[in-house]
Amino acid sequence: MRMSEWIDDFLEDLKDVNELANLHQIGMIESLLDISPTTLEFKTQVLEDLNELTVKEASIIISELKENEISRDPKHQYKKMKDNGMFD
């Protein structure tokens, strides 16, 4: 790897750290908060800090919310329970 490539990668990572979350991420977080079993304190804290989240922070929150998401479709709920070994 050339030195300039390493510097470019480092600066690109640095840019992402300070870049604010985009509207798509904010919308995704708001919709996932409604269907994810989280505490009221967590929801309140996220909503208060929503406009100040960075891209990286928003990505972490989205992945955590998606992991705990409760699907509205019973078929998907059943599949998730079956995959988790509930009926074994």
Listed in sequence order, the residues at least 6 apart from 26 whose beta carbon sits closer than 8 Å to its beta carbon are 50, 51, 53, 58
The count of domains in the chain is 1
Band of pLDDT at residue 11, cut at 50, 70 and 90: low
Listed in sequence order, the residues at least 6 apart from 18 whose beta carbon sits closer than 8 Å to its beta carbon are 54
Its domain, for residue 69, covers 3-83
On whether residue 53 sits in a domain, the answer given is yes
On whether residue 67 sits in a domain, the answer given is yes
On whether residue 36 sits in a domain, the answer given is yes
Cβ(77)–Cβ(70) below 8 Å: yes
Reading the block at residue 83, the tokens are 């995959």
On whether residue 20 sits in a domain, the answer given is yes
On whether residue 88 sits in a domain, the answer given is no
On whether residue 15 sits in a domain, the answer given is yes
Q: How far apart are CA 18 and CA 39, in angstroms?
A: 27
54 DSSP assignment: B
On whether residue 17 sits in a domain, the answer given is yes
pTM (2 d.p.)? 0.69
51 DSSP assignment: G
pLDDT in tens, 28-71: 999 999 888 889 999 999 999 999 998 889 999 999 999 888 88
On whether residue 70 sits in a domain, the answer given is yes
Q: Distance of alpha carbon 53 from its chain centroid, rounded?
A: 11
